[in-house]
């Protein structure tokens, strides 16, 4: 478990096991069940164990724990599934192998962990579906399969991804943040973002007891969306990808430029391009791709318009964070004294203490 990654063969086998034979209607059954039960599937319900985790994966070896795959890199994509975006889960399922492969190429030495969620509008039955960060195809395919896109949106001039931003900012335990790096967060939409953040909606989405537990500090003091975006950006490289050519695309673009800053908003022709765009953004931010290499690395997908937009992002932002770290980023093969340690053992510190033993408690519990 600590050393397996996404594979296309696993992806295809899981699709077959789950009866996903078509690229359309991947979530039809889940949507029906959600309508009838009034509940989301627990593995995507943000109210069930609200904290999402992206942890370094360690394997017991000899007397210690070894990071077989290196530092995790949390990548969250939260996609609008209202109205004209309603088939996005189908698209994500179809492009998933390409997405993982493209991301892995620009994150060599890292363990990419994907949280692919969806959002709608507060007028819908369900506002947000948010799974755990996963690395292996069977789990990702499974959670996509049980999403319940609402396909509505309310026609009220915007949607509500701000709860996805809140979730990443305050309901996520990411190893990257613990060592001084940032993960990645992408909003994919064609509508402006509503600015309302209410206690009522937070309880509705994340559970009635959320302010007694995970969001204790926010009780009676909910930040504005600008405060939430500021906190979000302290944890992730945040981007909004605006699907062009839809009714409110121009307003959506201005809305996110206002919230995120122009450098963090990209206009795209279609979500078919997500593997290319997301991996290009990550590569430029990590410093593993240079702006002059975009055409060569990504081919015809990379037209001059997209190159212009990508040249505008904060290139090398993650490099700056790596440079400021007191220790190098943990890599594959690094040895940790015990699970839960933040840093690997430094040379000369290896000890002959108790055997490392993986227990049931070490495995992150989720349904």
Partner 1 sequence: MKIRGIEVDPNDFFAQTKRFRVYLGNSDKDGPVILKVAKTFDDNDVLNEDAATFTRLAANSQEIDEYETSLGGGNRSRFDLLFASLLSTFVEASQGDRRINVYRVPDTKLSKLLPLSKLKADYEIDARSCVWMIGRILKFYILFEKDKMDGKETVARYPDFYPEDFLIGPERHRVIYYNYSGGEDDSIADGHIKAIAKFFLEWIVVNDEAEQRLYNLLKDFSEHGRSEFYDAHSNLYALASELWGRGVYYPFTYRVRGTIAWQKQKEEEK
Residues 257-276: x/- map of binding to partner 1 (CB under 8 A)? ----------x---------
Which among 62-70, 85-93, 304-312, 351-359 is the span making contact with partner 1, rule CB under 8 A? 304-312
CA-wise closest residue to 183 among 104, 289, 74, 36:
74
Distances from the Cα of 299 to the Cα of 106, 184, 281, angstroms: 15, 24, 15
Q: Which long-range contacts (CB under 8 A, 24 or more apart) does 349-356 make?
A: 350/64, 351/63, 352/63, 353/63, 354/63, 355/60, 355/62, 355/63, 356/60, 356/61, 356/62, 356/63, 356/64, 356/65
Whole-number CA gyration radius for the chain: 20
In the complex, minimum distance from the CB of residue 319 to partner 1, in angstroms, rounded to a whole number = 7
- Identified binder of partner 1 from the candidate list 18, 29, 307, 332, rule CB under 8 A: 307
Alpha-carbon gap, residue 213 to 208, rounded angstroms: 10
- Identified binder of partner 1 from the candidate list 316, 337, 341, 366, rule CB under 8 A: 316
- Identified binder of partner 1 from the candidate list 4, 5, 84, 312, rule CB under 8 A: 312
Residue 323 sits in the site that holds partner 1 (CB under 8 A) = yes
367 and 357 Cβ atoms separated by less than 8 Å:
no
Query: Within a 10 A sphere around the Cβ of 273, how many other Cβ atoms?
Result: 18
CA-wise closest residue to 309 among 246, 257, 267:
267
Residue 315 sits in the site that holds partner 1 (CB under 8 A) = yes
In the complex, minimum distance from the CB of residue 287 to partner 1, in angstroms, rounded to a whole number = 6
Residue 108 sits in the site that holds partner 1 (CB under 8 A) = no
Residue 28 sits in the site that holds partner 1 (CB under 8 A) = no
Residue 305 sits in the site that holds partner 1 (CB under 8 A) = yes
- Identified binder of partner 1 from the candidate list 9, 37, 108, 304, rule CB under 8 A: 304
52-54 and 172-174 beta bridge pairing: parallel
Of the pair 116, 181, the CB lying nearest partner 1 is at 181
- Identified binder of partner 1 from the candidate list 9, 21, 108, 292, rule CB under 8 A: 292
Order of strands, sheet of 71-80, starting from the edge strand that comes earlier in the sequence: 128-129, 110-119, 71-80, 183-189, 236-243, 265-268
In the complex, minimum distance from the CB of residue 303 to partner 1, in angstroms, rounded to a whole number = 9
Residues 6 or more apart whose Cβ sits within 8 Å of residue 253 = 242, 265, 267
129 and 118 Cβ atoms separated by less than 8 Å:
yes
Terminal Cα distance for the chain, rounded: 16
- Identified binder of partner 1 from the candidate list 254, 341, 358, 362, rule CB under 8 A: 254
Of the pair 209, 270, the CB lying nearest partner 1 is at 270
Which among 126-134, 140-148, 274-282, 299-307 is the span making contact with partner 1, rule CB under 8 A? 299-307
Distances from the Cα of 158 to the Cα of 84, 91, 165, 356, angstroms: 13, 22, 15, 51
In the complex, minimum distance from the CB of residue 253 to partner 1, in angstroms, rounded to a whole number = 9
Of the pair 214, 293, the CB lying nearest partner 1 is at 293
Alpha-carbon gap, residue 2 to 5, rounded angstroms: 9
In the complex, minimum distance from the CB of residue 308 to partner 1, in angstroms, rounded to a whole number = 5
Which among 19-27, 80-88, 288-296, 328-336 is the span making contact with partner 1, rule CB under 8 A? 288-296
In the complex, minimum distance from the CB of residue 67 to partner 1, in angstroms, rounded to a whole number = 23
263 and 233 Cβ atoms separated by less than 8 Å:
no
Which among 90-98, 200-208, 312-320, 346-354 is the span making contact with partner 1, rule CB under 8 A? 312-320
Residues 114-153: x/- map of binding to partner 1 (CB under 8 A)? ----------------------------------------
Footprint on this chain of partner 1 (rule: CB under 8 A) = 254, 267, 287, 290-292, 304-305, 307-308, 311-312, 314-316, 319-320, 323
């Amino acid at each position: 478990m600590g050393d397996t990654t996404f594979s296309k063969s696993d992806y295809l086998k899981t699709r077959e096991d789950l009866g996903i034979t078509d690229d359309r209607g991947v979530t039809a059954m889940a949507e029906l069940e959600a309508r009838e039960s009034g509940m989301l599937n627990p593995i995507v319900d943000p109210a069930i164990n609200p904290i999402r985790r992206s942890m370094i994966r360690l394997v017991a070896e000899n007397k210690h724990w070894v990071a077989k795959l290196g530092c995790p890199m949390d990548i969250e994509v939260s996609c609008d599934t209202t109205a004209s975006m309603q088939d996005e889960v189908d698209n994500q399922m179809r492009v998933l192998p390409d997405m993982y492969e493209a991301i892995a190429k620009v994150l060599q030495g890292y363990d990419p962990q994907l949280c692919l969620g969806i959002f709608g509008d507060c007028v819908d039955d369900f506002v947000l579906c948010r799974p755990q960060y996963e690395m292996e195809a069977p789990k990702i395919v499974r959670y996509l399969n049980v999403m319940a896109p609402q396909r509505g949106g309310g026609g009220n001039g915007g949607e509500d991804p701000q709860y996805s931003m809140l979730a990443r900012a305050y309901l996520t335990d990411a190893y990257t943040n613990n060592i001084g790096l940032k993960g990645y967060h992408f909003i994919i939409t064609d509508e402006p973002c509503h600015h309302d953040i209410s206690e009522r909606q937070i309880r509705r989405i994340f559970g009635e007891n959320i302010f007694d537990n995970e969001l204790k500090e926010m009780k009676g003091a909910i930040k504005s969306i600008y405060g939430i975006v500021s906190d979000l950006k302290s944890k992730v490289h945040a981007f909004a990808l605006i699907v062009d050519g839809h009714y409110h695309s121009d307003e959506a673009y201005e809305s996110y430029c206002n919230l995120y800053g122009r450098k963090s908003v990209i206009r795209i022709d279609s979500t078919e391009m997500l593997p290319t765009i997301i991996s290009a953004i990550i590569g430029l931010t990590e410093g593993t791709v240079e702006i002059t290499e975009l055409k060569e690395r990504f081919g015809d997908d990379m037209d001059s318009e997209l190159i212009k937009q990508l040249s505008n992002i904060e290139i090398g932002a993650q490099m700056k964070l790596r440079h400021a770290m007191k220790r190098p980023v943990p890599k594959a093969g690094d040895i940790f004294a015990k699970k839960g340690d933040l840093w690997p053992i430094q040379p000369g510190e290896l000890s002959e203490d108790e055997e490392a033993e993986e227990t049931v408690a070490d495995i992150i519990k989720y349904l």
